[in-house]
Amino acid sequence: MYTLITGGSGFIGQNYILHLQKIKKLKNVINIDCLNYAGKFQNHLKLSGDNSYTFIKGSINNKVLLNKVFEKYPISKIIHFAAQTHVDKSIKSSEKFFVNNVIGTLKLLEKSKEINWEKNNFKFILISTDEIFGSLSKNQRPSVETSSYQPKNPYAASKASANHLVQSFISTFSFPAIIINCSNNYGPFQHTEKFIPKIITNALTNKKIPIYGNGLQIRDWIFVQDTCRAIYKIQKHGRIGNSYNVGGNIQIKNLDLAKKICSLISKLGLSKSVEYKKLITFVNDRPGHDKRYNISTKKINNEFGWSPKESFNSGLTKTIEWYLNLILRLKN
């Protein structure tokens, strides 16, 4: 039996595949990825000599490709990471987000209906986001798995739509699926368009660090390796038909986070002349910018005893060092 991972060359997907390799659970894994701008070859190449890993370049919207994959490999699990994820891009051009995030998910679901679920012990896991719950007020309680969806931007709306599709298949067809709603991830291999990598790489290259609006927006952050541990727990033990929130329980304002990263970079002693915090520059706010996200992780804590292991300082330091090494490699 095979595990099909979609988007396994993207940020969380490739970290998850490497996590499976690390814990010696990389067995009969197929990675389908179209390798768009956010998908990278490097991790695929690291695994190319491993007979338990197969990389297939292509889109989940390609029915011919999906037919070939499902005909060739007996699939027992699908972990669906593949998605367009950058909010700014969804505001500028929304259509591709719905084509990839909604129609792509639907095509996977339809194809999965052809599998003998009981015989294959089949399970479909959708990786989603806390943005589906929308913005919370200052004193509002964290969103739980059953909180209503109130997406405020096209990206969040596309992911909420995908969640609804999966839930409809669960209700209508008794489809064996689980949904995982993740808070903001950070760590190695993330595209530099994202908030934390942009702060780090701009600071390290002495460029302005753009902060939307007043920088008081609050996000919950989790180190990607902690997310990978949670996904594996849920893959093994999650209850069919359930949703699980996965977050780091770290609430911080964007401006404070930028200052924190600048302070951590200063401690590395890379430059005595650059005052990194002075690179912070306020820019026009994003349209419809959500003020605060916060999700409760009590369910996964109670069911599996899972909680984040990586401290925020440690995770940020590891991330800074990874991007520093990346910049140095690109220079050489």
Instruction: State pLDDT tens for residues 54-111.
Output: 999 999 999 999 999 999 999 999 999 999 998 989 999 999 999 999 999 999 999 9
| 118 in catalytic set | no
Which one is catalytic: 130, 145, 220, 226? Answer: 130
Termini Cα distance of the chain = 43
| 50 in catalytic set | no
What per-residue confidence (pLDDT) applies to 48? 54
**Strand pairing partners for 149?**
none
**Cα distance between residue 265 and residue 268, in whole Å:** 5
Give mean pLDDT, residues 283-293.
95
Which one is catalytic: 155, 186, 244, 293? Answer: 155
**Cα distance between residue 320 and residue 171, in whole Å:** 44
CATH class of 2-187+224-248+294-309: alpha beta
| DSSP single-letter state for residue 141 | P
What per-residue confidence (pLDDT) applies to 254? 98
pLDDT > 90 in the chain, percent: 88
| 155 in catalytic set | yes
Is 119's pLDDT higher than 80?
yes
What per-residue confidence (pLDDT) applies to 271? 77
What per-residue confidence (pLDDT) applies to 37? 62
Q: Strand, helix or coil at 282?
A: strand
Give mean pLDDT, residues 312-323.
97
| DSSP single-letter state for residue 295 | B
The tens digit of pLDDT for each residue in 186-197 reads: 999 999 999 999
Which one is catalytic: 131, 145, 220, 226? Answer: 131
Is 288's pLDDT higher than 80?
yes
**Cα distance between residue 264 and residue 280, in whole Å:** 15
The tens digit of pLDDT for each residue in 120-168 reads: 899 999 999 999 999 999 889 999 999 999 999 999 999 999 999 999 9
Give mean pLDDT, residues 171-175.
97
Residue 116 CB: number of other CB atoms within 10 A?
Answer: 9
What per-residue confidence (pLDDT) applies to 42? 54
Asked if 201 and 327 count as a contact pair (C-beta separation under 8 A), the reply is yes
Provide the residue ranges of all domains of the chain, joining segments of one domain with +.
Answer: 2-187+224-248+294-309
**Cα distance between residue 109 and residue 162, in whole Å:** 10
Strand pairing report for 29-33 and 53-57: parallel
